[in-house]
Each structure stands twice: as structure tokens, then as C-alpha cells.
Structure 1
């Protein structure tokens, strides 16, 4: 017997992974201390987590807006975490760069793992949301 995975079930799986990535990344920020990031990074991170939690809720409630929300938060998160953590410190208060981070930033291997996991999970939920949205649009009325 062959089982197929629907775009909707893939979206739920990707959302679960994304939720775990949110927790892991948040745990690293708590370990490092909230005082090592700028007020702008903290504010944007707070907005991201609120929209991400709303998206997780929408996906697991199977709300019609879930795929679009997943696309938006997924791709925005992937881009945001790349800019904030994975690029050199070119963005001033928008940067918490792990590249040549000072010792007081307390960046360790786990920090890199958490940031890369969050970027990958953001891409996964964004792609899964796009697939689910496309599948809905292709379904006959």
C-alpha cells in the first residue's frame, strides 16, 4: 500500500518542526541573555514570535488563512534570521552577527545550530505553505 503525503499534512509537519526551531532559538537567546541584542532586534524578535505562534495556531486549527500565513512568516523568518545572525555586522542595531562575535555575545556552536535550524525551518514552512496554497487553488470548486 502506498501512502501519499498531502500538502496540508506536509504543512502541519513543517509547522511542528518550525515550532521546535522557535523554542530552540529562544532557548539560545535566554542562555545568551537578552541584553546582548539591541532593542530593535529584541522588538523585531518579539513581533516574529507573536506572528509565528499565530501561524502555528492557524495551521493546527486548519484555518483557511494558514498556508498564506505560513508562507509569510516562514520566508520572513528565514530572511530575518539570516540578516540578523548570519551576515557580518553591517546592519548596526539590526545585527546580532555570529561572525566574529565578541565574547560578551556568548555565541557558541549551539547558537549557530539554533540560528541555522530556524532558517531551515522557516524555509520549510514557507515552502510547505506555498505548496498547500497552490493545491487549494488547483482544487476543483
Structure 2
């Protein structure tokens, strides 16, 4: 699809969404790498399933942004804010949610949570929020 700006900031908002999507993709890879480093046996089947769904939707969003699809901003908004909430619940809240938790607060040694785990989770959450906000900014100009 070709892009036709509707106002002076539209090109800027669209470029921000593309650049933010690159950072989002890097954060997705870093967080995934930490899960592989820790071992997939450290998380529940529910967390693994939700993480897989999130990854598939994130990859679809990345593809939508870089093919300049008309649904890209909405996908960025949806995956960004849903992922930020999800990762916050799973990693940053105490272990209140049973199989929906991979809490980094007082984890057992078998969870293999390190400083890199914290960095990866916080980087992912920040990138999630950033792509959601970038999607909001681009939604009116992305055509």
C-alpha cells in the first residue's frame, strides 16, 4: 500500500512506528532468549501457551508494520498494551496467580532468574508500551 500523509506529522508518526517495531522485535528476541537460557521447564504450560500466542501475534504485528498494512497501527496497539499487561502480571507481581505466574520476586533457584532476566522482562515491557503508544500515534495517518 502506498502512504499518503494526511497531516504534517503523519510521516513522523509512521516512521516512529517502524523504528519502535524494530526495538520491539529486538526486545521480543531478548526476552525469548532469556526463557531459553532459563529452560522451558521453569514455566507452567499456561505461561508457555500464552507466551507462544503472544509471540505469534507479535510476529504478525511486525509483518503488518513492515508491509505497511492498514491494520498495523491497531495490531501494534493491541499487542503492545496486552503484552505489557501480561508480562507485568506474569513476571513482576508476586506469585499470586499460580500457573499464570513466573514471578521474579523470591523465585526458587530452579527458576534461574538473573539480572539478565530482569533486564529482558523490563526491556520487553518498555518496548510493548512503546509500540502501543506508537500505534496510537500512527493510527490516524496510516493509510
The bucket for the TM-score relative to the shorter chain is: over 0.9
* 1:134 match: secondary structure: coil
* 1:108-123 equivalences in 2 (<5 Å): 108-123=114-129
Once the two structures are superposed, residues 63-95 of structure 1 have per-residue CA deviations (whole angstroms, 9 ceiling, x without a partner) of: 000000000000011000000001100000000
Q: Select 2:39's aligned residue among 33, 36, 54.
A: 33
Once the two structures are superposed, residues 10-66 of structure 1 have per-residue CA deviations (whole angstroms, 9 ceiling, x without a partner) of: 000110000000000000000000000000000000000000000000001000000
Whether 1:67 and 2:81 are equivalent positions in the alignment is: no
Superposition RMSD on alpha carbons, in Å?
A: 1.3
Which stretches in structure 1 are left out of the alignment for 5+ residues? Answer: none
Q: Select 1:18's aligned residue among 16, 24, 49.
A: 24
Distance 2:75 2:86 in 1: 16
Contact 2:14/2:142 (<8 A) preserved = no
Tell me which stretches of 4 or more aligned residues in structure 1 moved more than 3 Å.
Answer: 134-137
How many aligned residue pairs are there?
A: 134
What displacement does 1:102 show?
Answer: 0.6
Report the counterpart of residue 46 of structure 1 in structure 2. Answer: 52
| TM-score, with structure 1 as normaliser | 0.92
* Greater RCO (Cα-Cα under 8 Å, separation 6 or more): 2
Distance 2:113 2:81 in 1: 24
Which stretches in structure 2 are left out of the alignment for 5+ residues? Answer: 1-8
